[in-house]
Every structure is written in structure tokens, then in C-alpha cells.
Amino acid sequence: MKLTIGHLYPDLLNLYGDRGNIACLMKRCIWRGIEAETIEFNTGDQIDFSKLDIVLLGGGSDREQAIVCKSLLEIQSEFKDYVEDGGVVIAVCGGYQLLGKYYKTDAGMIEGLNLVDIYTEQEEGRLIDNIVLDSELVDMPIVGFENHGGRTYLNGNKPFGKVLYGAGNDGKSGYEGVVYKNVIGTYLHGPLLPKNPQVSDYLIRKALERKYGGEVILTPLDDSQEKEANDYIYHRFVKE
Ligand SMILES: NC(=O)CC[C@H](N)C(=O)O
């Protein structure tokens, strides 16, 4: 079996080491004998979504988001078809915000991909902290850090998780991120996937099931170090 990962606009959406999510997905496939390849797409590159199994959009400052949104709008309809066909996407922070209808900033409106019916508006002050979630997608708490000025509103879509510590989508709703079909949008940097191996495996499983059919049971890996770190953070910030 083989998975191809598309890393979109690493030249612009590259905040806080989000490319570490790619390295984690690659390794957790290769360690299981699943062939894995990553293709980077920069502004102006043609993207054939039919060749991709997982797509990553990383974080970015408002300035980079305004630049990259022009390229994203050029691929909007193919990207939409990929998502509606169950294509797997992991979008972090700025990348997450660009999945929605728009991101309204103090400097102006950034048009989004409109792949998920959400929207983001900048409000006073930044939401910066460690963050811990409880998500029904996995049984371990999900840990990371957030740093965003935008507040994202879900319009009734399913959240990625319930906030146990931190701000989340808007610092008020008590929820973080979004799940739509096989798309996860989240504010969690860390990077997210190395810190949360079960989320990484969730994405790999969904991509393999879409590509090869049937139910995929992944060979377990030794995640004891991640679990130990995860437990520490959970007890440090949630169960003090
Ligand atoms: N960390 C990020 O990707 C930031 C996203 C966006 N520029 C915001 O400030 O909300």
C-alpha cells in the first residue's frame, strides 16, 4: 500500500514547525511498511488532487494568508471535489481558517476556500496558550499550543474537540477546530501530529480506507513516550 501526501504552500503556510506533521505522517506509514511520498506544491504549481491521499495546509500570518488565498482560489473547485469525495485534509490554524468562507482581519477580508461552512473574524487580543482537548475521534487527550487572533465560528459543524484547557475556536464556545467528512481543521500547533499519534493514525486510516476500501486496522506502534508526555500535560493543565 502507498499514500501520497500533498503539502500545500510550505513556502507561505509554515508557522511554528507545522511541517513536522508531514514528517510524522511519513514515518508512521514507513514504520508500518506502508509506502509514503510527500509532494510539495508552491504558489503557481498545478495540483492534481486525484494523486493525493492526505493534504496538509499549515499555519500562516495574516500577510501570508492574504498572499496564498489567491493561489488557493485558483484550485478551489478541484479541492472541493477532493473534500466531497472524502479526501483527507489536515489544516492547521491559518490553513484551518482558509478552509472557510472568509477570514475578516483588521487589514481587510481574506476570501476562503469555502470547503467547510465556517468563518473567522479577528477580534481584540490574541489567543495564545497551551491547549488540551477531549475529542471523540481518539481516546487520548489532544495536546498542543495555540496562537491566533482570528476567532472561528462553526455554523453548526462538528468541532474537533471540547476544550479542557485553553481558548479554542473563539475563547467562548468551549470547542476547538472542526471535522467535516475527512477534513480536520484545528488551531493546534505543536506540531499537532507528533504530539498526538492517535490523530496521525486516524488520518492514515481514513486515507487508506478511502483508497483501498474496507476497514483498516493499523499495526500498533510504541507510543509510550507520547502517552507519558500527554499524561503530564493533561495533569499539569487540566487535573491540577
Ligand atoms: N498561527 C497562525 O497560523 C495564525 C493564523 C492567523 N494569521 C491568526 O492570527 O489568527
**Residue 95 Cα to ligand 1 middle (Å):** 8
pLDDT value of residue 240: 65
Separation of CA 108 and ligand 1 centre (Å): 14
The confidence band for 27, taking pLDDT boundaries of 50, 70 and 90, is: very high
Catalytic residue among 7, 24, 148, 189: 189
Which atom of ligand 1 lies closest to the CA of 126?
9
61, 63, 98, 146: residue to mutate for ligand 1 pocket, most atoms within 8 A of CB: 61
Amino acid found at 201? D
pLDDT at 82 (0 to 100): 98
Q: Is 235 an active-site residue?
A: no
148 noted as active-site residue: no
Contact of 193 with 21, CB cutoff 8 Å? yes
Q: What is the pLDDT of residue 89?
A: 98
pLDDT in tens, 175-189: 999 999 999 999 999
Type and span of the H or E element at 85: none
Shortest-distance atom of ligand 1 to CA 93: 3
Predicted confidence band at 134 (pLDDT cuts at 50, 70, 90)?
A: very high
Local confidence band at 15 (pLDDT 50, 70, 90 cut-offs): confident
The model's pLDDT over 147-179, given as tens digits with 9 standing for 90+, comes to 999 999 999 999 999 999 999 999 999 999 999
**What is the rounded CA–CA span in Å between residue 196 and residue 216?**
19
Taking 90 as the threshold, does the pLDDT of residue 23 lie above it? yes
Grade residue 125 by pLDDT with cuts at 50, 70 and 90: very high
Whether 236 has a binding-site annotation, put simply, is no
What tens digit of pLDDT does each residue of 192-236 get?
A: 999 999 999 999 999 999 999 999 999 999 999 999 999 999 999
pLDDT surpasses 80 at 146: yes
Model-level pTM greater than 0.95?
Answer: yes
Instruction: Determine which residue's CA is closest to atom 5 belonging to ligand 1.
Output: 94
The span from the CA of 100 to the CA of 218, in Å, is 31
Give the atom of ligand 1 at the shortest distance from the alpha carbon of 120: 10
- What dihedral angle (degrees, nearest 10) is formed by the CA atoms of 193, 81, 162, 207? -40
Q: Across the beta sheet with 35-41, what order do the strands follow? A: 35-41, 2-8, 54-57, 88-92, 183-186, 178-180
The span from the CA of 169 to the CA of 2, in Å, is 34
